[in-house]
């Protein structure tokens, strides 16, 4: 079983010893930072007042993702009703909720795929919707109901994703090979994606989300239709990614999986966050599944379906 992400695919984290020019970092999908010692937004500006004293404690690193007052409605339907959420950098964060809770809508707004009606999305402290190009460079996305260019082969699709992210051809070729191995898709590298099974399609989409070594990985139902061995491989890859400094947000309906895999979780229902924190805080001594049912409610008896138990002969 694979338990290791190739070093080249671990997240592009800021290197305190090397500060690339912002445009180069953005093009490489890496962090865009001001030169050390220069206040944000002041690059190139002549100082107008003496520098402030520098003995104040360094401010803590911003969360990987911060959602403030996110709203989204579709016609009369309010899908997301003022969601606030803080995803700490380096966390493995689960997002759970019943069908129609607003998870996909929230993640779509958090990753620049869907415009919010109101609210702010900060990715590593940067306002995503103020500068979507820089913000999206930090994110890898596996959307729900993913639509791919499925007339490409798996290998071509990863290559396409890498080139689109601004990587050079040699880097893309190396990473495509590594990802095909990690996803156990080498034998089908030259098969058209349209001929892939649902689980294989999920894996090739995940490979595309990883190719630019993002700092934040947002995965909507990544294990749906994936076989147990592939799921275990993917879990290993994600755990390794988090161990090397990346942040993963994963939506899932499988409480047991979230409880085992994630260190933080948010329970969402009706477009609101009902509970959020570490998994242990949220489950409060119960299993996550029991706590989920307690928070969300909505259990129905099968009495109305008595006819299902009636013999038809």
Ligand X SMILES: Nc1ncnc2c1ncn2[C@@H]1O[C@H](COP(=O)(O)OP(=O)(O)OP(=O)(O)O)[C@@H](O)[C@H]1O
What residue ranges bind ligand X (CB under 6 A)? 74, 77, 79, 97, 99-105
Provide the minimum distance between the beta carbon of 107 and ligand X in the complex, in angstroms, as a whole number.
Answer: 8
Backbone angles phi, psi at 248, to 5 degrees: -120, 135
Closer Cβ to ligand X, 103 or 212, answer by number: 103
Closer Cβ to ligand X, 63 or 97, answer by number: 97
Residue 54 Cα to chain centre, angstroms: 35
Closer Cβ to ligand X, 101 or 279, answer by number: 101
- Burial state string for 205-238 with b = 16 or more CB within 10 A and e = fewer than 16: bbbbbbbbbbbbbbbbbbbeebeeebbebbbbbb
Closer Cβ to ligand X, 167 or 217, answer by number: 217
Provide the minimum distance between the beta carbon of 106 and ligand X in the complex, in angstroms, as a whole number.
Answer: 7
Cα distance between residue 250 and residue 267, in whole Å = 12
Place of tokens 């990715």: 123
Closer Cβ to ligand X, 116 or 246, answer by number: 116
Provide the minimum distance between the beta carbon of 169 and ligand X in the complex, in angstroms, as a whole number.
Answer: 37
Provide the minimum distance between the beta carbon of 101 and ligand X in the complex, in angstroms, as a whole number.
Answer: 4
99 burial via Cβ count (<10 Å: 0-12, 13-18, 19+): exposed
3-state secondary structure 206-245: HHHHHCCCCCEEEEECCCCCCCHHHHHHHHHHHHHHHHCC
Provide the minimum distance between the beta carbon of 99 and ligand X in the complex, in angstroms, as a whole number.
Answer: 3
């Amino acid at each position: 079983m694979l338990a290791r992400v190739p070093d080249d695919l671990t997240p592009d984290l800021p290197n305190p010893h090397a500060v690339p020019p912002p445009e180069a970092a953005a093009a490489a999908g890496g962090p865009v930072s001001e030169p050390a010692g220069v206040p944000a937004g002041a690059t190139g500006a002549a100082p107008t007042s003496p520098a402030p004293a520098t003995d104040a404690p360094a401010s803590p690193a911003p969360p990987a993702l911060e959602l403030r007052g996110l709203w989204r409605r579709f016609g009369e339907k309010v899908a997301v009703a003022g969601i606030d959420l803080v995803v700490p950098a380096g966390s493995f964060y689960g997002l759970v909720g019943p069908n129609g809770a607003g998870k996909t809508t929230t993640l779509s707004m958090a990753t620049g795929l869907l415009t919010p009606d109101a609210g702010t999305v900060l990715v590593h402290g940067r306002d995503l919707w103020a500068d979507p190009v820089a913000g999206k460079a930090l994110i890898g996305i596996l959307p729900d109901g993913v639509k791919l260019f499925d007339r490409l082969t798996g290998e071509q699709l990863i290559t396409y994703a890498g080139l689109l992210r601004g990587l050079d051809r040699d880097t893309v070729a190396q990473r495509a090979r590594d990802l095909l191995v990690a996803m156990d898709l080498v034998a089908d590298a030259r098969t058209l994606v349209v001929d892939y099974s649902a689980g294989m399609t999920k894996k090739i989409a995940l490979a595309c989300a990883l190719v630019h070594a993002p700092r934040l990985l947002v995965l909507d139902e990544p294990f749906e239709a994936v076989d147990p061995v592939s799921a275990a491989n993917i879990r290993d890859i994600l755990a390794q990614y988090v161990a090397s400094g990346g942040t993963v947000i994963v939506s899932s309906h499988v409480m047991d999986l979230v409880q085992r895999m994630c260190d933080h979780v948010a329970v969402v229902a009706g477009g609101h966050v009902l509970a959020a924190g570490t998994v242990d805080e949220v489950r409060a001594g119960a299993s996550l599944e029991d706590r989920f049912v307690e928070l969300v409610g909505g259990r129905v008896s099968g009495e109305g379906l008595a006819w299902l138990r009636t013999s038809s002969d």
